[in-house]
Amino acid sequence: MTGEPMQPDTEWILSTLAELYPNPRTALHFETPFQLLIATMLSAQCTDKRVNIITQRLFPRLGGPEDFLKLPQEALEDLIRDCGLYREKARNIRETCRLLLERHGGEVPARFEDLVRLPGVGRKTANVVLANAFGIPALAVDTHVFRVANRLGLARGRTPEEVERQLTARIPRDRWIPAHHWLIYHGRNVCHARSPRCEACPLRPECAHARAQAAGTGPAAWAGERVAGGSGAGARERT
Ligand code: SF4
């Protein structure tokens, strides 16, 4: 006996999630990489539903970085006020638009290193844009992915970056994009933060958290239930 926790069957978990959630895609509405970048920046600590309401009135008026820059900071703040942190988001969006024009010809770059140099764009936002706007394999870790992956035992990390590293090592590259969506759906539908519905969960046979509960060690035995240092995957990124 090594004392090492039992490893869950990754393949079985992924195929079960694929059956449960056959159409994995982002809930954010967008038509262009630029729109997805803005929507993802707005979604920090805000629901996708609220972001979609805001972008529905934003995007028809503001088609690209130039349009956002023409708008004074206060006017942009008014338009995005409902999504919280609106002053900071408006500032970051305007600066990002300026840098897109200055460095990238007004286009959203399809490189992680370029994306994370934009203000308000962290690993998670960059990975969301790469995966959903460009189809480039990436696995963004938000609060749902962080929680569900740790509970299942697919990862055992204290930071989103650790969890991302472990998940991308464990999950085949061609399933990084759907795996991100599957874990989010499962976190929203079944594996809730406060009261996971383990009795009804199809993943229960392979879930480390469920096993720990059955063994009487309980959920507190599992590190990384919450993102270290804040409520979201990166203090200013979407949860
Ligand atoms: S068994 Fe419980 S803790 Fe494990 S994934 Fe399902 S809902 Fe989450």
Q: Residue 204 CA: which ligand 1 atom is closest?
A: 1
Cβ atoms of 231 and 239 closer than 8 Å: yes
Total residues found in the chain within this entry:
239
User: Which residue's CA lies nearest to atom 2 of ligand 1?
Assistant: 198
C-beta of 184 in contact with ligand 1 (< 6 A): no
Q: Is 191 annotated as a binding residue?
A: yes
Q: Is 207 annotated as a binding residue?
A: yes
The predicted pLDDT at position 225 comes to 53
As annotated, the active-site residues are 124, 142
Query: How far away, in angstroms, is 180 Cα from ligand 1 center?
Result: 16
Q: Is 46 annotated as a binding residue?
A: no
C-beta of 211 in contact with ligand 1 (< 6 A): no
What is the amino acid identity at position 79?
A: L
Give which of 176, 155, 179, 172 is closest to 227, Cα–Cα.
155
What pTM was estimated for this model as a whole?
A: 0.89
Find all residues with CB under 8 Å of 193, minimum gap 6, and list them. Answer: 143, 147, 187, 226
Query: How far away, in angstroms, is 46 Cα from ligand 1 center?
Result: 24
| Residue ranges of domains in the chain | 33-134, 145-221
Query: How far away, in angstroms, is 201 Cα from ligand 1 center?
Result: 6
The predicted pLDDT at position 218 comes to 60
The CATH number of the structural domain formed by 33-134 is: 1.10.340.30
* Three-class DSSP labels, the chain: CCCCCCCCCHHHHHHHHHHHCCCCCCCCCCCCHHHHHHHHHHCECCCHHHHHHHHHHHCCCCCCHHHHHHCCHHHHHHHHHHHCCHHHHHHHHHHHHHHHHHHHCCCCCCCHHHHCCCCCCCHHHHHHHHHHHHCCCCCCCCHHHHHHHHHHCCCCCCCHHHHHHHHHHHCCHHHHHHHHHHHHHHHHHCCCCCCCCHHHCCCHHHCHHHHHHHCCCCHHHCCCCCCCCCCCCCCCCEC
The predicted pLDDT at position 215 comes to 85
The CATH number of the structural domain formed by 145-221 is: 1.10.1670.10
Give which of 6, 21, 18 is closest to 209, Cα–Cα.
6
**Whose structure tokens read 């009795």?**
199
Burial class (CB in 10 A: 0-12, 13-18, 19+), 139: buried
pLDDT along the chain (239 residues), means of 10: 74 98 96 98 94 96 96 96 95 98 98 98 98 98 97 97 98 98 97 96 97 75 44 38
